[in-house]
Structures are given as structure tokens and as C-alpha cells.
Structure 1
Amino acid sequence: MKKELLLIVSYWLLSVSAWANINTEATPSQREDLSKMLLHLTDSLEEDYDLNLLPQVRVLREQSRQLGEKHLQARSLLLEGLIRQHFGDYKHSLVLHNDALAIAKNLDSPILEVQIYLALAQLEMDLERFRYAQQLLSRAYTLITTRIDAEQSKKLMGEYVLWQGSLYLLKGSYRQALATLSKHSLSEFRGLSSKLALARAWAYLSIGAYPKARLLMNSNYINKSELSQNLHLRVRYQLMNATAYLQAGEFTSAIHTAKLALNETFGTRFLTEQSKLQKVLAGAYAQLGDFEQAHLYLKRFALSQQALNLQKRNNKLLQLEAQYSLAAQKQQLSVLEKDNALQAQQLIQHQQQIDNAHLAQQRGVLGLLLIALVLGFGYWRWQNKRYLITLKQQVAERTAELAERNKRLQALSFTDSLTGLNNRHYFFSVIDAQIKPQSSPQSEKQEMIFCLLDIDHFKKVNDTYGHAAGDLVLQTVADILKQCTREGDLVIRWGGEEFLIVMPNMTHNEAIEAVERVRRQVECFPFVVNEQAIQVTCSIGFAPYPLTNGANKSLSWEQVIELADNGLYMAKKEHRNAWVGLHSLNHPLNCSIKHLNKDYRSLINSGQVTASVSYQT
């Protein structure tokens, strides 16, 4: 009788444990609704990537997880990873793709594995890790050719050909790209014909075969409705048209097409296409002899390339952090599984000891022992919940720490480490937004003043007192500029001992007062270096924006900065501890910006350019 009672209690304990871990199964109607939701999200993603889809994808993932639909859960992870990957969030995208890959391998779903390998290969190509991208493409190709039948593998083979050709294009192997993209007829992959045709056309343009590229771009393989819906695809198509015009010598058509495409890239993340379009415009203007416009677009191309390189560096850093975070999570899960296994083994041993003790006890003692077992089990469950709560808190703290590190990383990229001021990279990221309100002046107050400041004889300070003294002078001057400027002004460490101040909504007379205040503050400030007082002065040049010449042609903000730099050079050459401020260009002044920069002083002396100076001429 005692033995039968012990068996009943043991079975009851196992049933309670199994009931606590069971998952709710999905009904056929719930499974159908989730499948329809997945199909809708997949179709929306093929048209264009949209961040507004993320909440719906997360709802699909959570419901699939709760209902035990592993296949739908893996596909929702892949969809979210693709959206984040498109918008440059490589860290979370890598984690999501790896989670989806783990589920797909457990389900033994080769089609889903191929799709995940292709997505990971695209991510590695974005990070310029071509060797890893090739390894992932090779794994996808092996699965397509060995484990998937011919009917199902047709679309997957088209995607593989597209990304393998794109990889060769990125590596500069244009002949290999053409060989890969030309192995199959475009009619075999109707859903991918536009992308494959554009990839093959780009390979032809890369080797200078623009007639063949034009034939492809004007063929029926390019789906015009798909171009109108997909902004990224449309911009790439216009970029190829502009490149073809440039190679064919049709420079005016190249400029028109490139400008249309460039306008569509504003406010997007298409930095690569933007820089290529600027390069095409620079080349076309140079061929037409408009070297001023060519130089302008060449400078913008250089700035875009710098921003693109910085973005790639940051993306690679975030990808390394994601790999570290993923490895740390796997290690924590492994430790947790070992702890759970040890606890289960200890529980079994304890249960065996209780069973052996029960065989020698009275029926009354057996009842008390059963109560003790229930209390012990409840205590174990409580301890386990406490442990899980502690683990969740640690994960939350780690997530918050990583978010804070990302914020600090962005702040560091925009901040000069010595002076604490914003740097050139920050200036280039905000200047276009700053000058937009200045484009339609309504009153005299609508001018924006660009002011360049340079410390006089700074090299002498470094040579005489050492670089530590020079750093102290730079930091002190930066503090003076913060105190002498308004809250809405931009104070930028422009480079070396040079600073840029941008003062919006300011008249010429107010600008004179502001720069004179800065000059006096620097001149009168008691700089103490190695317990020795030194005299530090500065020279300043400034110019207003917007500014037009005699032909009513507006100068760009880059040209206005050049004029301010000319004023700075004139102040240093003529006097030092002085400033020169441009007021306006008198009519008529039909000369190029190059001539204006070269003869700046003579034009001021002749009265063709109105300027103010702080010294006696």
C-alpha cells in the first residue's frame, strides 16, 4: 500500500512539472490567419521597405511563438531582420537572422535556410566582408542544388544569381559578374527580371559597353510599374541612364537625368547612389567646360564619400558588438542549461532519498512527508522564478548599457575631443537644414553670418611653450567662443587653430559687434602657461549668406565660407588681431568666384566689394 501511494505521488509531481511547460497549440483558423498576415507582410516588403511594418512583424512573431508555430516565427524573424538591415541596423539584424537560422535548422527547412543565408550574405556585402559573403552564398547554392526540387528552386536560384553577380560587381570582377548573370535567360526569373537586368547593365557600364547596357535598360525585362513603386530601384535605374549618357558623350542628358535622380535621394539613406550621381555630374560639367559646377559637385562627392566611409566604419563596429553580444548570450544560455540540469539531477536524488525513507515510515508520517514535498516543490519553483527575474534584470541592464554606448559613440563622432566643440562632420550633417530658412529672406534679419577665426602666431606658442600649452590655449579660446555666442549659434572646431562660427538671423552691424566682442575677449583674457602670462590674439573673417553677385547669381554656402576665409587671410596679412567682414557685392560685378577670391583685397579697395575692417587702412 505504501509503495502504490508513493507511485501515485511521483506521477502527480511529474504531471504538474509537464503541465507548467506545455505550449498552447494553434487551431486551424489561427494558423490560417497567421499565414495570411505573413503573406501580406512579405508582399509589402517586396514593394518597398517601410519601418511602419515593424510593429505588425513583431505581433506576428509573438503570436507564432505563443502558439508554437516555429516556421512562422522564423519567417517573422527574417522579415524584421531584412527591414532593420535595409535601414543600417546591422547589429539587431545579425541577431535576428541567427535566431531565425537556428529555428530553420531545427525544423529541417532548406528553403528557409537558403533565404536566411542570402539575407546574411547581403548583410556581409553591405559591411564589405566579401569572403564571408562568398561562404554564405556557397552554402545557399549547395542547398538549392542538392536538397530542393527544380520547381521550388527556380526563384531561389534567381536570387542566388543576383547576389553572386552583385558580389562580383562590388569586388570589381566585372567579367565574372557578366559570366554569372548571363548563364541564365532573364525570362526564367520573371519576378526578378528587373533587378537581374539592371545588375547585368551595370556590369556592361563598368567595362564601358554602354550600347549593350542601353539595350537591357530599354528592354521589356525592366518592369516600369516596379520602378515607380520601388524608390531604390528607380534611383539605380536613373543612375545607370546618366552613366550611359556620360559614356556616350551626351553630357546635357547625363546632367538632366543625374539631377532628377539626385533630387529623389534627398532625405534617404542612399549615400552610395548619391555619391555616384555627384561624380557623374562632376564629370559631365567638366566635359562641357563648366569647371565651377564640376568643382562644386566634386567637393560634394568627396563629402559624401567621407560620410559613407564613416558610416561603413560605424556599421562594422556595431557588427562586431553584435557578434560579441550574440556570443555572450549563447554562453549565458549554456550556463543556465547546465545549472538547470544540475538542479534536475539534485531533485531526482532528493526524490530517491524521500522514496527510500517513505518505505520505513508509518502512514501518518507519510502524510506529513507529502505535505513537506509539496512545500519543497513550491519553494523550488519560487527560487527558480527569483533566479529568472534576476537574469532578466541583468539582460535589461546590459541592453541599456549598450544603448548608452551607442549614444556615446554617435556623440563622439560629432564632437572634437580636445575642445568639446562640434566638429566638421557635425557641421556637414546639419548645415543644409540650417540654411533652408535663409533661402527666402523677408527682412534684413534673415542673413546668416559665416565667421572664420584663427589664433595668431599659434605655431610660436607651440614651439615656445610646448604642445600642452597650445592645447590649453585652444580649450580656453573655445570656452570664450561659447560665452560670446548665442544659444542658437553653431561653434565648430574647423581644424588646427581655426574655428567656424555660424550665426543665423543677424545683420551686418550685429555681426561687427559680435566679432569685435570675441576679438576683445581673446585679447584681454589672461592666458597663463607654466605660471607665465602670455598674450594671445586672433584674426577673424566673416561673410553673409545668402549672397548674390552682379548677375543675380546666388553663391553657395561653400563659396561664402571661402570669402570669409579670404577676409581672415586679409586680416592676418594686413594687421593681425583684427577682423575683415564682407557686407555685399556692389552691382555690377560680373566676375567669377575664382576671380573674386583671387582679387579680394583689390576689389574691396576699389569699392566693388563692400566690407568692414577693424583697423585703419
Structure 2
Amino acid sequence: MIRLGAPLSWLLSLLFSVSVTATELASPEQLEKSLAGLNETLKSDFDLSLLPELRKLRRDAQAIDALEIVAQTLLLEGQIRQQYGDYQQSLVLHNDALQLAVERQDLALMAQSRLAIARLEMDLERYNYAQRSLDDVHQLIVQLHDKSQATPHVAHRLLLAHRLWQGYLYVLLGSYHQAVAALHTEDLVVTGTPELLDKLLLVRAWALLKLGRYQQAQPILNQVAQSNILIRNQRMRIRFNLLQSMAWLQAGEFQKTLGTAMPALMETFTTRFLEEQADLQFVLSNAYVQLGDYQQAHLYLKRYALSKDALNFQKRNNKLLQLESQYALATQKQQLSLLEKDNAIQAQEIFRHQQILENTRLAQQRGALLLILALALLGFLYWRWQNKRYLSLLEEQVKQRTAELDERNRRLQALSYSDSLTGLHNRHYFFSAADKLLAQSRDVSQNTIFCLIDIDHFKQINDSYGHAIGDVVLQQFAEVVTSQLRAQDELVRWGGEEFLLVMPQTDMTTAQQVVERLHNAVAQYVFSHDDQPLSCTCSIGFAAYPLRLADAQLASWEQVLELADNCLYRAKNGGRNAWVGLKLPAQPLAMTFEQLQQNMETFTVTSTQLAG
């Protein structure tokens, strides 16, 4: 009875386990419902805590051979990892999904995988590869339309996503007109895809703002503001506020700019959205400049520079990590192959020696021992020689690589201090070298003149002739001004159409002569591009450093620069094509800096006075 009971109980347990396993397998409808729920959750934010649930869903889909759901989970996990900077694993997951789509000949799934890869390539700044993937997506959408493999809703959604990321790529490449042309929805049915439509509209508004067309961007932003997607997705909400603040800035609504950008910037401090944080800091800096609060503008400009440096460092690290992982994988495979070959050779050698030793052990024991010792000594000497040779070669390579890195760092520093359009030093260079340039000017007998030069009506030149002609005017303007300067003078592109001229060891009389000379040179010069002549003038404001105030106070160079900017404002407000300088007495002033600002008219000298 006992012998029959044991097999019977084993059979019953086996049947029970099979039945339990069969009941635990989920149906395709349940898996699709779970996938839809995860998709809806990810529309709000990409959360790492969703990875275990995604992997469980993928295992359940693999158990019932639901390969489309498997591919969708691979794409979702790849997007989550991409958001957190794991580009290598994200690329592997996207390629796995693409491989499943190719095996199933699912054109819609292939297009989704290609779109995910294109977005990843954009994050890695490999724009050529991103464009190739987008071209492949376009071909797949055409095939879907011809073969009618997908429902109209899926085809329209893929077409909308393709236009969204194609326009986004154009914006990243600086082709803003192409982006505006690509991001249109007139011929698309956009029902059922509000998140894609809102993203497309935001990118279109971004491109319009880059072109300075805030009047066209504002209605688009108003349309997006009515969507509930902004409430759910934090990044889209921050991006919307950034674009809205840019629109307010271009419209001249600077208080509204501060009111929109400041809360959005505070929201980024607890997030990983470093790029939006840097852009918001730049917008705030520009708004404070327009409001005349240069201290706050300078503060946010420095924060913007730090954020951009951190962002660039993060991008460089991501690229280096990807290259290092690929190199490490290739090296590991090569080493494994070499080890396998070496092990096979060593095994054959050992077997051969064992046979020789066994056959001749008694007769040639002493000779074999001496031979082995000689071989061991030679091998040791050879190893020592190879080791020294390798170490010397490695040291030489390290020295060469160190020299190359030093040279690259030097070039990067030079690039960061130079304006790519005019070849002049930029604002960053001046801030870093200001103390050195002004070291000799702390002696009262040695003055340094700060001179701010602004091209008159430069915006009209851009609007009338285009930004390309405007860039040519900036280059020729820099050449004309530089030709009128002395050897010790330093010309810096301060921003936009504004330049800063630093004239060390210069008194006010000489400064007026230099300013008058370069003012006349610009007015007489005929700017041209492609045989298209045009003329322009400039307005100039200048002041001298050091500046002695009441109670033996010494004004900072930032305050002197602010006085020069006030003189520039007076020159522009007085009709432009003029210069205004601040000519102070040699003895210290019996007033504070604020009092001097209020009584500047007493000490100013203008080009009209000089002419009279």
C-alpha cells in the first residue's frame, strides 16, 4: 500500500503544478491592459521604480510568445534608461526591439524602434545617425501607407511623431526655418494623441522664438496652456514656462519674464533637467539686463555658464563612457580569443612534453633537467627584457597623451575666450582677465578707459537684409574698429551688436581723439556683401577707471562700466551716431556713486560739443 501511494502522490503533485502553471499564465488582453497602464504612467514622468514591473510584464509576454508586447517593453525600458543617462544599455534595448520587429516584419514596430534610436542619437549629439534613422522611419511610414499594414490611427501617430522629432533635430542643428516648415499639422488627424501634439507645438514655438517671431509663437503657447498634459508631465511644464518666458522677453514684458522664469527655475533644482535650468538662467540674465539690474544679470549669467559647463561635461562623459564600454567589450572579446588559443597551444605542448618525458625519463633525465632550466632562464630573461621594453613604451605613450591633452585643453580655453564670428575676445575672456588688465590702473596717474560701442539700428539691418548680412556687418565693423586702435587697446565683443573697448594708460583727451577717429571711420566705411553696399553708424559711451568718490572710496570697474553704459544710453537717446564720455576732474569727487549717476549731465562731454 505504501509503495503504490508514493508514485500516486507524485503524479497528483505533478498534475497540480501543471494546472497551477497554466492558470498563472496571463492572457494577451491582460498584458495589453498592463502595457497601456504603464504607457499612461510614463506620460507623466520616467520613474526607475517601474523597471521591475516592466521586466515582469516582458517575462509574462515571452511565456505566451507575445513578441509585440515584448518589443514594446524593451522600448519603454530603453526610454527610461535614456532619461537617466544609461545610453549604452538603452541602445542595446532599442536594437533588441528593432530585431524583434524585423523578425516579425512589423513595419509599425520597426518605425517605433527607429524613432527611439533617433531620439537616443540626438541626446548623444550624433545628428548624422539621427537623420539616417529618421529617413528610415519616413520610408517605413510610406510602406505602411502603401501596404495598409497598420490602422489609420497608428499611421497618423507615427507620422506625427516623425514630424515632431524631425523638427526637433532641425532646431538642434540651428535650421529654424526648416523646423517651422516641418512642424505643421494641417494634413494630419491628431485626435487621440494630445501629448504628441503638445510636444510638436512646443517645438514649433521654440523654433519661432529662435527666429524672434514671438507674435506667432504666443498663440501656440496659449493653445498648449489649455492642455492637461502640462499638469501631469513636469518636464513639459518646465519647458513650457521656459518658452513662455522667452516670448515675454522678446515682447519686452520683462516683469512677466521674471514672474514666469523664476518659479520654473526653482522647480528645476530638484530635478535632472539641467538643460532647461541653464536656459532659464540665461533668460533671467537677459531680463535683468533689460531692467537695468546688472548685478542680478551678472549673477545669473555666471550661474548659466556653470550650468552649461556641467551640461557639456555630462555630455562628454556620456560619449566617453559609451566609447570606453565599446572599446572594453572589443578588448575583452579579443583577450578571450587569445586566451582560448593560448590554452589550446599550451595543452598540446604539455601533452607532447609528457610523452617525451615518459619515453626518455630514465635515459635522459639529467639532460632534460638542464634543458628545462636553460629554457626557464632564457624565458625569464626574455620576459624581463619584454617587460622593460613595454614599460618604456607605455611611459612614452603616457607622455605623448599628456602632451596631447594639454594642447587640447589650451585650444579649448582659447575657443572659450574667443568670439567665433568676429575672432575677437568675448565677455567670458574679459571677466577672467579683468583684474590683470586693470592691475596698472589702480595708480591714479594711469587711467583705463572703458568704451561701450553699439551699432545703430542693427536690428533693422537683420530684418531688412537677413542675419547672414548682419553677421558680415559685425565682422567688417570689428575690422574697421580694430584698424583704428592702438597696440595696447583691447576690443571685446560684449554681446549682440555691442562691443567693449578697453584703452589702458589713456587720458580723457586721448580717449576723445581715439573715439572720434573710430566713430568717423565707421560712419565713412561702406559695408558690403555680394556687391550689396550699405552704411551704418555707431553710438559710443565711455568712462575712466579708477574713479575716486567721496570718503576716499574707489569705484569698482563694474560701476565704471555701468557709467559708460549710461553714457551710451545718452548717446543713443540723443539721436544715435554720436559719442558721450564722462570727463571727471582729477581730484576725488565729493559725492557717492549714486549721486554721480544722478548728476552725470554735469560731467559729460559729447561729440556735438567737440564739433562745436
TM-score normalized by the length of structure 2: 0.49
User: Greater relative contact order (Cα 8 A, min sep 6): structure 1 or 2?
Assistant: 1
